[in-house]
Structure 1
Amino acid sequence: MSCCAAGTEGALEVERAAHALPSSEEMRLASRSVGEGLYQTDLSLPAVHCGACIATVERALRALPSVERARVNLSTRRVAVVWKARVGDEPTDPQVIARQLASVGYEAHLFMLDDRAGDALRNQLLRAVAVAGFAAANIMLLSVSVWAGADAATRDMFHWISALIAAPALIYCGRYFYLSAWSALKHGRTNMDVPIAIGISISYLMSLWETVHHGEHAYFDATASLLFFLLIGRTLDQVMRERARSAITGLAALSPRGAMVLGADGSRDYRPLDEVEVGDRIAVSAGDRIPIDGLVIAGSSDLDMSIVNGESAAVGVTVGDPVQAGTLSLTGSLVVEATAPARSSFLAEVIHLMEAAEGGRARYRRMADRAAALYAPVVHLTALFAFVFWGLYDGDWKHALVVAVAVLIITCPCAIGLAVPVVQIVAAGRLFKAGIMVKDGSAMERLAEIDTVAFDKTGTLTLGRPALVTADPFDPQTLALAAALGRQSRHPLSQTLAQVADAAGPAFDDVREIPGAGLQASCGPRVYRLGSRAFAGAAAGADHVSVAAPDAALSEVVLSLDGRELATFHFEDALRPGARAAIAALQSQGLSLGILSGDRPGVVEALAARIGIADWKAGLQPGDKVDFIAAASADGHRLLMVGDGINDAPALSAAHVSMAPATAADIGRQAADFVFLRKSLDAVPFAIRASKAAGRLVRQNFGLAIAYNLIAVPVALAGYATPLIAAVAMSGSSIIVVLNALRLNRLELPEEIAVAGTTAARATRLPIGHAA
């Protein structure tokens, strides 16, 4: 099996006929802004097969002054190009990117994630396998008579019949290798298909020479069998890649192909998703998935939002509520106003994250690419050496040529080429099943290296939603009064109070919110106040009260009437589900843990005690968190930062690796290397375990690939491997590597993990120290 997965060459001519170079306007429309005058365009490159292809494409694109960076994803045959809108005073024509790719032999068209292309390729490969198998079986039947001692005339006839069967099989089945090899050679480079094309060609030509000269032995059966086994390897490669990428194709299937757009006159027009514009009104029926991010402007429904939050419970939406692409309307019809184009939707963002995880240029991936890039010259020299040595050694140049062909085939470093990407694909899919998005394969490598974890508090260890824990005195009428006041404010504590009672409460004549203090409302001559103790007990005419926040573990709100206290309410931020179990799991892994928070020391200390973290810092500004991370890095610590807010973005960027919940601010999600969709914090220890397991499997794959070459190459050089045996061995090594990577699917998902104890293997304490 080849890491090239070169079956795409079979469809390359069709692709070239169907896809001319995209126009400048098409490329602009398909691009998305990534900030600071930069845009990203994703292009499909069907001819990309191996590490050498990746290096050629990226080197060609980086030579353009308008290209900021370029990254090739081998599994999707896609290149993500980030380019500048302007170079100097001149605007950039994005089509120059496609022209540059065409100049080095890679015709490009706009990338669209579509599993139908993968299905077509798999079917083409299966047909080629069937043809090669049919040819091999029939030639072997004819060879039986030859082996049984047929006379010269019968032998020659059977050889010619075998040649006629093998020739069309070689053309039809071998085109996957020939087209790829020719594309590389005509642009002055080589790839993994060049020696394979040479090998099968020499095998056939040697047999034809023997037939023309009435030789006793021909190798048409070996040629057809060689093609058969090479194609089996490539087909299995394609199938396993599709299986490993099933999470991405599954996500793509959640996105409808189009949307029913409502016109101003009430007409309905079904449009492809790419033609839906911001501001369009879209009709969504019960049972349909929402095609695009938007705002509900009519109707109500219950949504299955498991793709967003990982929860099975339906969420009700009505007019004014935002909805996200990929969610399923269960019970009602909606009219949604589009707020973002399809390429910028939540679902598209998740798919981009998944694909980025596959294409990340991690350290191991770069090592594998460099090894693959050295492959062609090393293999050609090795085969030449074998040919010359055996020809001089025993004078049998025909045997020397057979040995050289076997060397060409058996030394293909397909296993090395697959060692890293297949593990990254499987790992990204496994993390996705656990509700975790990873942006880059290198992030998994960095996560496996950490020794320290620092958490933000609000929105990370907690949900950022305060919960009412005490009401003194507890009186339904007083609660209804407080709830009625709370509905007049958007403050989190007021919103919590607003939900504790259903009664409408009194009608207020006037309501004012005094920043930093609370709410004041009049009902006839009476004045109600809801806020801090000092504010609620102050004179009714006071417009502002300067009160220092008390250093207490619970937040306090007082309700008063004309300065007389009616009730006191205490709130506590709700702990994120799975927080205690996650902390225990991290401690059991021997990691140092701490909290870096901007909240009050009393609140942070109380939370740290609740979840079992001994080290914490409070009252930190964003710059303070960055300074702490820099100091920890200088001391040799490799720190994972888990945070969610805008104020955490600098710390997330500064850390060795970072994670954020899906509820984080946009800038926080963009700065993080991992994003977890579920509410539970058990995503953190699971991601660490998965990353460490992926690292182990990558190292095992490298070991398997190296061991294969240490055994196979000497065997081929010694003349003990025929071309057919070489093809079987090469395919077998790649299959073993892929199967080893698929073992990652056995890693238990977070909800199945049993936390052994709460204080076992207590971690070394992070040098954060208690706040004074």
Structure 2
Amino acid sequence: MSCCAAGTESAAELQALETQAPSAEEMWLSSRSLGKGLRQVDLIVPGVHCGACIALLEKELPRIKGVDHARVNLSTRRVSVVFADGVARGEAAAGTQPAAARDASTETLLTALGDRLLALGYPAHLPGGADETSDPAMRELLKALAVAGFASMNVMLLSVSVWSGADAATRDLFHWISALIAAPALVYSGRVFFRSAWSALRHGRANMDVPISLGVGLAYAISLHETITHGDHAYFDASVTLLFFLLAGRTLDHMMREKARSAVRNLVRLSPRGAMVIRDDGAREYLALEEIEPGMRLAIAPGDRIPVDGRVVSGCSDMDFAVVNGESAPQLVEAGSLAPAGTLNLTGPLVLEAVRDARNSFLAEMVAMMEAAESGRAGYRRIADRASAIYAPAVHLLALGTFIGWMVVSGDWRMAMLTAVAVLIITCPCALGLAVPVVQVIAAGRLFENGVMVKDGSAMERLAQADHVVFDKTGTLTRGTPVLINAEAVTADHLRLAARIARASRHPLSQALAGFDAVNAELPEFRIRETPGEGVEAVSPSGDVYRLGRAGFALDESEQGAERAADASQVVLSKNGAFLDIFLFSDQLRRGAVQAVTRLSSLGLDAEILSGDREAPVRALANELGVTAYVAGVRPRGKVDRIKALTAAGGKPLMVGDGLNDAPALSAAHVSMAPASAADVGRMAADFVFLHDSLEAVPLAVEVSRKAGSLIRQNFGLAVAYNCVAVPAAVLGHATPLIAALAMSSSSILVVLNSLRLRRKTRIEAFAKPAAARPATPDKEARRLEAAA
């Protein structure tokens, strides 16, 4: 459950963590540069279990001098701390590589970070330990749940006998037997909560487990007093039943969060531990994954997974690209092909040249997105976090006020104490705490199963609010693999020149044109500059300016105005502003584009196309999709202006794009999506990334996000309704500790069961059954990797 349970790890493990906290050097070596003078270190903090923990860490850690900000991921219990990169700045000036703890201020900062975490009661360790592959917390929860369940059933049977009218001697005997059964159960099963509560109090703070521990302990103490004094009523059944239901809810929540963490671990397992590196002298040496650097040549045998993003130097093989595009059909790679980390070599040996290190690979990027899926502070999460932050003091004050009030009214300390205990138990806001995170974990997991990566938990909330969708054309609505259709009509010299200039651009039209450079020659003496969304300019040694791109970019005003094809995309080649030749291309729709637009329309989202392409091909595409609103010839600035205009009119636009020129619009939109094959900048600017080739990922994400938002509101309603009824009843003395335990636990389980409704739908057919007749190609992902290289 979302209540703070810093004690779910064994005592021995927590003690080991406290005594084996990572040193400043270890944290430095595991950190990575973010640029702009910042680095990030990720730490596993097992004690993080609720919104109060998140709020405390994200508030306290930035107070350390040099820490820019901290972000806590509840599902993975990972704290990401961004700090000033003093070492990198100092060493960069000296022209050397940064080494561990060379900068005294950075060493002091990292030491202070570890000390602050320990002082707050959150011992941390670096990722990759044994806990990453085992789950001692789950084992402890299951054992505690079993003991509590056994005790509660037996104590309840004895209580039924007492309720049935057993005489005084029999009643006292049953009470003593219940006490003997409940005592070891409370000690063993209750340590999950007691340990957490003690840790919080020892560090001068309170969490949700403090009133739970008080309620359970006081219920047992009062029951024991009643047994000793031969009282009529004892509530041993309340204490053990409360523990059983609390542990049941906490176990369910842990299982769901473990699913989210296992998805991340499964991605990590796609990357091997290392690879065979071929040295310059031909010698072969096996290196760990972390030691592989760009430029190294790697020997990849059949059956091996690609360790880092690489380019095939020699060899030919079929490869499984399912991790990239979701397609099960093998795809042929040969010299010059690019393969992302995590893809599987199937049939032949390959020699690859690494183009990225492991930390910056495609696979590492997907892992980072999965880990960030729950880190966003969405509006619903902020509400739950604020409620959790004020919970402990509010409950204690309410219970104290109840005790004082009943003492004044009745003068019976026993009645006052029982009522106060019932208030402590019944006011546990576990249902409120579970309302948001459980739904978000399930929603993120369902999207991941369907190939959609969520980069920020708050993005789902914003996607549910979207009322308008803006599509880019090339590479988004279309496959982004255009084909030159007038190669025989253009001058051969012009085609060769244009192909060589086009090699400098990552635009899909340029890449299609670059394939006609048969000799793969460079233009070493040309000064080449690309203008995103416009084209490429190449200045020859003699001063002639060649331009390849949009007509408005390539031609002088006097040369513009002639269209050569009604429904084809075109690229113009010019010399000093004068027309030389025109190249015409055709493209095909991305799989699922028509269905996606139809489903989005049924969901109430009006579709619009913004494209930098010419009017004729954009109009033809819009007609094919049934989209009435489209604008052609739009530059990157124009896309941003249109997004801002929609926002200013009160709209909440969803932008779907993939190119470098789409990045500003993706950032400006209320929420955004991009395919995994998008350019790095565009993909990083998007809130969602879909791995499959089908565009039906867009309406699927909208549907799941809206359903998640609906379930969260329902959960809030259930939690509020429960408190409105239960709290006054407990304060007025109408609920015994047993009734309070049953009511509180029932509300939590009801919220969990309501959240699980999100998993009822199966995967969409387009993803479950990829089209075998049209195998996807890795060309788009290859272009992305090559651009990064």
Change (3 A) 1:456 1:393: same
- Structure 2 counterpart of 1:357, one-letter code: A
Look up the match of 1:303: 319
- Partners of 2:571 and 2:696 in 1: CA distance: 33
Q: Deviations over 1:367-398 (max 9, x none)?
A: 11111111112211222232233333333322
- Partners of 2:509 and 2:223 in 1: CA distance: 85
Look up the match of 1:225: 241
- Partners of 1:209 and 1:234 in 2: CA distance: 30
Contact 2:311 2:337 in 1 (8 A): yes
Look up the match of 1:769: none
**What secondary structure, in the 3-state scheme, does the structure 2 residue paired with 1:637 have?**
coil
Change (3 A) 1:301 1:733: farther
| Alignment RMSD | 4.2
Look up the match of 2:370: 354
Contact 1:245 1:426 in 2 (8 A): no
The answer to whether structure 1 residue 571 and structure 2 residue 595 are counterparts is: no
Change (3 A) 1:298 1:7: farther
Look up the match of 1:600: 614
- Partners of 2:536 and 2:647 in 1: CA distance: 41
Query: 1:180-199 to 2 correspondence within 5 Å?
Result: 180-199=196-215
Look up the match of 1:209: 225
Q: Deviations over 1:201-246 (max 9, x none)?
A: 1122223334444556544444333323322222222123334655
- Partners of 1:148 and 1:8 in 2: CA distance: 39
Look up the match of 2:760: 746
Look up the match of 2:634: 620
**What secondary structure, in the 3-state scheme, does the structure 1 residue paired with 2:654 have?**
strand
- Partners of 2:162 and 2:171 in 1: CA distance: 6
Look up the match of 2:532: none
Query: 1:370-449 to 2 correspondence within 5 Å?
Result: 370-449=386-465
- Partners of 1:199 and 1:558 in 2: CA distance: 78
Look up the match of 2:143: 127
Query: 1:98-497 to 2 correspondence within 5 Å?
Result: 98-112=114-128, 119-137=135-153, 139=155, 162-213=178-229, 215=231, 217-243=233-259, 247-256=263-272, 258-262=273-277, 264=279, 266=283, 269=286, 271=288, 273-274=289-290, 276=292, 278=294, 282-297=298-313, 299-467=315-483
Contact 2:141 2:251 in 1 (8 A): yes
Look up the match of 1:679: 693
Look up the match of 2:647: 633
**What secondary structure, in the 3-state scheme, does the structure 2 residue paired with 1:594 have?**
strand
Contact 2:17 2:124 in 1 (8 A): no
Look up the match of 1:36: 36
Change (3 A) 1:176 1:643: same
Shift of residue 424 of structure 1? Answer: 1.4
- Partners of 2:641 and 2:729 in 1: CA distance: 58
How many residues of Structure 1 are paired with residues of Structure 2 in the alignment?
715
- Partners of 1:7 and 1:104 in 2: CA distance: 12
Shift of residue 136 of structure 1? Answer: 3.9
Look up the match of 1:655: 669
Change (3 A) 1:615 1:103: same
Contact 1:471 1:568 in 2 (8 A): no
The answer to whether structure 1 residue 716 and structure 2 residue 715 are counterparts is: no
- Structure 2 counterpart of 1:436, one-letter code: V
**What secondary structure, in the 3-state scheme, does the structure 2 residue paired with 1:237 have?**
helix
The answer to whether structure 1 residue 694 and structure 2 residue 693 are counterparts is: no
Look up the match of 1:527: none
**What secondary structure, in the 3-state scheme, does the structure 1 residue paired with 2:244 have?**
helix
Q: Which consecutive residues of structure 1, in runs of 5 or more, have no partner in the other structure?
A: 520-530, 535-543, 560-566, 755-772
- Partners of 2:666 and 2:369 in 1: CA distance: 17
Change (3 A) 1:382 1:267: same
**What secondary structure, in the 3-state scheme, does the structure 2 residue paired with 1:311 have?**
coil
Look up the match of 1:85: 85
Change (3 A) 1:199 1:610: same
**What secondary structure, in the 3-state scheme, does the structure 2 residue paired with 1:444 have?**
helix
- Partners of 2:572 and 2:74 in 1: CA distance: 61
The answer to whether structure 1 residue 17 and structure 2 residue 32 are counterparts is: no
- Partners of 2:156 and 2:520 in 1: CA distance: 95
Q: Deviations over 1:471-520 (max 9, x none)?
A: 889xxxx99999999987856679758989xxx99999x9x99999999x
Shift of residue 672 of structure 1? Answer: 1.2
**What secondary structure, in the 3-state scheme, does the structure 2 residue paired with 1:709 have?**
helix
- Partners of 2:44 and 2:667 in 1: CA distance: 30
Look up the match of 1:761: none
Query: 1:47-58 to 2 correspondence within 5 Å?
Result: 47-58=47-58
Contact 1:484 1:506 in 2 (8 A): no
**What secondary structure, in the 3-state scheme, does the structure 2 residue paired with 1:629 have?**
helix
- Structure 1 counterpart of 2:41, one-letter code: T
The answer to whether structure 1 residue 588 and structure 2 residue 633 are counterparts is: no
Shift of residue 17 of structure 1? Answer: 0.5
Contact 1:301 1:332 in 2 (8 A): yes
Give percent identity, aligned residues only: 57
**What secondary structure, in the 3-state scheme, does the structure 2 residue paired with 1:357 have?**
coil
Contact 2:49 2:74 in 1 (8 A): yes
Q: Deviations over 1:610-666 (max 9, x none)?
A: 333333333333223223322332222222222222222112111222222222111
Change (3 A) 1:447 1:147: closer
Contact 1:277 1:340 in 2 (8 A): yes
Change (3 A) 1:490 1:549: farther
Shift of residue 568 of structure 1? Answer: 11
Look up the match of 1:757: none
- Partners of 2:494 and 2:64 in 1: CA distance: 64
Shift of residue 127 of structure 1? Answer: 0.9
Q: Deviations over 1:706-758 (max 9, x none)?
A: 1121222233233333323322322222222122222222346444699xxxx
**What secondary structure, in the 3-state scheme, does the structure 2 residue paired with 1:340 have?**
coil
Change (3 A) 1:160 1:643: same
- Partners of 1:134 and 1:373 in 2: CA distance: 34
- Partners of 1:601 and 1:316 in 2: CA distance: 36
Change (3 A) 1:153 1:269: farther
Shift of residue 192 of structure 1? Answer: 0.5
Shift of residue 585 of structure 1? Answer: 2.7
Change (3 A) 1:12 1:117: farther
- Structure 2 counterpart of 1:662, one-letter code: A
- Structure 2 counterpart of 1:642, one-letter code: V
Look up the match of 1:3: 2
Contact 1:58 1:71 in 2 (8 A): yes
- Partners of 2:647 and 2:572 in 1: CA distance: 45
Shift of residue 53 of structure 1? Answer: 1.4
Shift of residue 172 of structure 1? Answer: 2.0
Look at both structures and tell me which one has the larger radius of gyration over its CA atoms: 1
Change (3 A) 1:641 1:568: closer
- Structure 2 counterpart of 1:395, one-letter code: G
Q: Deviations over 1:274-327 (max 9, x none)?
A: 455555655544334333333444544322111111222212223443322222
Change (3 A) 1:204 1:669: same
Look up the match of 2:97: none
TM-score, normalised by the number of residues in structure 2: 0.80
Moved more, 92-101 or 431-440: 92-101
**What secondary structure, in the 3-state scheme, does the structure 2 residue paired with 1:374 have?**
helix
Q: Deviations over 1:659-695 (max 9, x none)?
A: 2222211111111111122222222222222222221
Shift of residue 410 of structure 1? Answer: 1.5
- Structure 2 counterpart of 1:23, one-letter code: S
Moved more, 15-24 or 181-190: 15-24
